[in-house]
Amino acid sequence: MSMDSNFILIVGPPNSGKLRISKLIQGIKDDKISETREHNSTDSHSGLIHKTKITTKYYTSNVDIFIDEIPSKRTPIFSEDDKINALKKWCNEFFSPEMESLVESLDGIIFTINIKDDSLEYADELLNVVHRVKTLSNEDNLLAVVATTPKGSNGWDKRYFDEIEDIFIEHGFEFIDFDKQGKNEYKESQGKDRIVELIECHEWRYMELIKKTNSEETENEVKEEKSLDELLVKLNEAKEHAKHLSPAEKDKYANEVIKDIEAYI
């Protein structure tokens, strides 16, 4: 019996990275992509569906990625006001009674924004939409805003990046700069790695757990118990040592201990 598919929606204006994010989730290279219909750069990406299978060491899950573009049709001349109005229209249609069953079936939505071309006014309106989605959809759904620059652009010409980032982070939403790499100052994944992490760590509606053998489970339990005991010893030793340090020395020592623990685990 085949496993049911989960549904995730990627929605945003033209040239805002929707296909790049879909490819990333599928784990395929830029020059290889399987789509339900052919298109070229002048076609709207609305209606594309990419089917993939997420496999981690803990589970497998079938995921259908829906692409929705705002507006649904591309026109040669499209002002920022047109784009904002199209976003408002999309939101009203998305939460109409006719769409209720689709909204309930979704496991997550990723909104995209082009931070080279999209305005602060567009970002403000997108914030309103994300708030509405958060309020009206399942609280367990994956929800993120991914900022991209058009292909071939350099990071330095992101016009309002800091302001746009603040708009979403200050309201507690997941905001990802697609182009960032490595870890941030809090040792958290960034960019593409963070998107993959969100997808792999999500608790999908339909997923098949990978069963471990008894010997694997016993071996892992022993290792975890031993690691925990050793970690507690290290923490107690650090606590005793810190009692004899000045406040400034304590801060420096605490940072060293944190680095040691991170490397240890």
* Cα–Cα distance, 212 to 26 (Å, whole number): 25
Interval 198-225: pLDDT, tens: 999 999 999 999 887 666 566 666 566 6
> What stretch of H or E contains 7?
strand 5-12
Confidence band for 102, pLDDT divided at 50, 70 and 90? confident
| Residue in 116, 91, 117 with CA at minimum distance from that of residue 9 | 91
Q: Is the dihedral of CA 95, 14, 41, 174 positive or negative?
A: negative
**Angle between helices 80-94 and 120-136 in degrees, nearest 10:** 0
- Strands in 79-141 per DSSP E: 106-114
Displacement of CA 54 from its chain's centroid (Å): 14
Interval 115-145: pLDDT, tens: 888 889 999 999 999 999 999 888 889 999 9
Interval 159-175: pLDDT, tens: 788 999 999 999 999 99
Residue 91 in contact with residue 134, Cβ under 8 Å? Answer: no
Displacement of CA 250 from its chain's centroid (Å): 36
pTM value? 0.75
DSSP code of 47?
A: T
More confident residue, 12 or 227: 12
pLDDT at site 36: 40
Interval 19-34: pLDDT, tens: 999 999 998 754 444 4
* Cα–Cα distance, 10 to 261 (Å, whole number): 37
64 has a pLDDT exceeding 70? yes
* Cα–Cα distance, 225 to 257 (Å, whole number): 21
pLDDT at site 79: 84
Tell me if residue 127 falls in helix, strand or coil: helix
Residue 130 in contact with residue 173, Cβ under 8 Å? Answer: yes
Count of other CB atoms within 10 angstroms of residue 28: 14
